[in-house]
Chain A
């Protein structure tokens, strides 16, 4: 699946001022946001923003459409919830263990899936994700459709009490910003340049001597790991892990978040995640109309801004975002 984006091709690999300003605005917003937005909602949105960024690393910069990212997100949240609850691990260890699980799953699924391209790649990732979904339904430790409930938030590093919403919020924010910067670094590293070369023209990258399969696999594992961090963090925030997170609609949701925000943009997935999560959350009050409104918004997005919200803004202003 090759997604051509002329703006990205023309861009220089150096950091641009527009991205620095956008990053400053984003950090500023997140620092004051809990004063006027409900923190739990913000934490959820941050987890999904990270999930979408991880997904975007794969689709936006390598051009691989994975339709099974719920696998890494969901299983990391199960492992994190289980180890925090049953083994009494501190949250940071539980999250790391969740992310490690996602990395291993990503390595297995990735090494099978990257042998194929386009729709076949998407179908293989979906099939593997569904296999693990059924495993989650059956396995005794996941609690089946009840999920793992009452996960303790615990003490970060054994000292910071995460039951306090503000402590929890800034922990999530730190995790998000750390991963966000890491993803940014990856995209703009020589390694990231090779990924973009593969996205634009894989045959040519091969002819230049790059072992593209290896690059793709590493990108896949990285993406899965970040998705795992997001899922594991969500398990700590909500104190639960459930089938919703491993089921295929979750894989679809992350595609939508990335598309709405802007494929292959650094900030797009963050905006996209906030929009989708806000709709789910604030439209909950209007009951049965949620799905209709959600559908309409997506149709409008697809019809009017093909590049996604951030993509359109960047295009109109001729800047990188």
Chain B
């Protein structure tokens, strides 16, 4: 029944504008926003990413430019098989032309393969895996907002330069945690810092007390949290109970988002240092976007993932409206790479051959409760990592698209 309905809709749409826009496949530019709408990442991506994509379409003025754009959303429930099922179905049957967001690296890597096979477009905002522009890079994929390399580099680099010379790592004991720790430690040592020690905690963990005591006893200035999600927030909460930040040590989270900080609250999270690609309170354009966004997203302010979705969709629509076609994914991505990016949130930027979107990254610190002027006034800027230093040098990724 449902298929019949979708099919009927698609046919109506095709009849309505099929003649005017012959080159746009089935007459509609169809964007699929897929992410976690019910689990751990629901706040930092979720429904908010759908809102961000809608706002991008409206602000671009797609209708006035003669583009018919439709947005569909789906919850991959953090399972790669559900994600790949949805994406294949979207592309094969529902004529979806572009997939955006997709947090959870296993799902993103699966989608990356399918989109390449089907020659559509994949714009990653939510996933962190730097392999997407490395070993697994694809001519149909652009990694938009951030990646693990940028976070490790930004945090390691900027903290050492602003005086945090000695480090102790609290690392989740699996490949992702090890990679974060390895990358960050390398940056710290390259910049003249020192790693005093590290401790591996099981993944997932709930009790961090013994690990935190070791970190405290190390007397390192910075305790690096090479973990993610609930592990990070649990570690931060327990560190607050141990009075680690009040004792003069700083916590550096390697993967954390605005919504996590909001959930932790300022008294617990204050002093936490981390890297992000975007913050709503940086300039007037961002503030205006955040205000409009929050009205449509249950009062929740946009995370960098949401901003990335907005920016990516905007650039995609620009490329499609210039090419006047959306059927050849590779051509659209090539067009996107050849045009400099420019939107109200990320400003001017570029996209590299390996699919990496380049923009500055920022080192933020969580404000003290006394410094905060509103419920979402959470960060202060500590350092800016210029665009040319923010991402992994193109030669080091091992992407086959890069001709050496």
Contact = CB atoms under 8 A, between A and B. Distances in A.
Contact of B85 (A44, A138, A243, A290): A44
A239 B113 contact: yes
Interface stretch (A34-42, A210-218, A254-262): A34-42
Contacts of B109: 146-147, 149
Contacts of B224: none
Contacts of A147: 80, 106, 109-110
A244 B105 CA distance: 13
A287 B75 CA distance: 5
Interface stretch (B171-179, B211-219, B280-288): B171-179
B92 A38 contact: yes
A150 B115 CA distance: 12
A234 interface: yes
Given A145-B176, A147-B106, A287-B47, A41 B37 contact: no
Contact of B129 (A146, A243, A280, A283): A146
Contacts of A143: 175
Interface residues of B, number: 40
Contacts of B3: 36, 38
A38 B113 contact: no
A251 interface: no
Interface in A176-231: none
B77 A284 contact: yes
B82 interface: yes
A284 B175 contact: no
A302 B203 CA distance: 34
A285 interface: yes
A140 B175 CA distance: 8
A41 B74 CA distance: 15
A29 interface: no
Contacts of B74: 284-285, 287
B77 A290 contact: yes
Nearest to A234: B81
B86 interface: yes
Interface string B16-48: 000000000000000000000110001000110
B85 A242 contact: no
B89 A290 contact: no
B80 A244 contact: yes
Nearest to B3: A36
B131 interface: yes
A281 B75 contact: no
A238 B75 contact: no
Given A137-B203, A288-B46, A282 B85 contact: no
Contacts of B173: 138
Identify the interface centre among A38, A286, A287: most chain B CB within 10 Å of its CB: A287
A238 B42 CA distance: 24
B84 A240 contact: yes
B203 A146 contact: no
Interface residues of A, number: 36
Interface in B240-286: none
A304 interface: no
B349 interface: no
A244 B81 contact: yes
Contacts of A38: 3, 88-89, 92-93
Contacts of B113: 149-150, 239-240
B88 A287 contact: no
Interface in A240-268: 240, 242-245
Contact of B82 (A137, A234, A281, A288): A281
Given A282-B2, A284-B74, A288-B38, A40 B174 contact: no
A145 B174 contact: yes
Given A41-B89, A146-B106, A288 B81 contact: no
Identify the interface centre among A140, A143, A149: most chain B CB within 10 Å of its CB: A149
B73 A144 contact: no
B76 interface: yes
B10 interface: no
Contact of A41 (B38, B75, B85): B85
Contacts of A137: 174-175, 203
A287 B73 contact: yes
A291 interface: yes
B336 to A, nearest CB: 23
Contacts of B348: none
Interface in B56-111: 72-82, 84-86, 88-89, 92-93, 105-106, 109-110
15 contacts: A36-B3, A38-B88, A38-B92, A137-B203, A140-B175, A146-B129, A149-B112, A239-B113, A244-B79, A244-B106, A280-B77, A280-B79, A281-B85, A287-B47, A290-B75
Interface of B: 2-3, 37-38, 42, 46-47, 72-82, 84-86, 88-89, 92-93, 105-106, 109-110, 112-113, 129, 131, 136, 173-176, 202-203
Given A38-B93, A284-B76, 8 more contacts: A36-B3, A138-B175, A149-B110, A150-B113, A244-B80, A284-B77, A289-B38, A290-B37
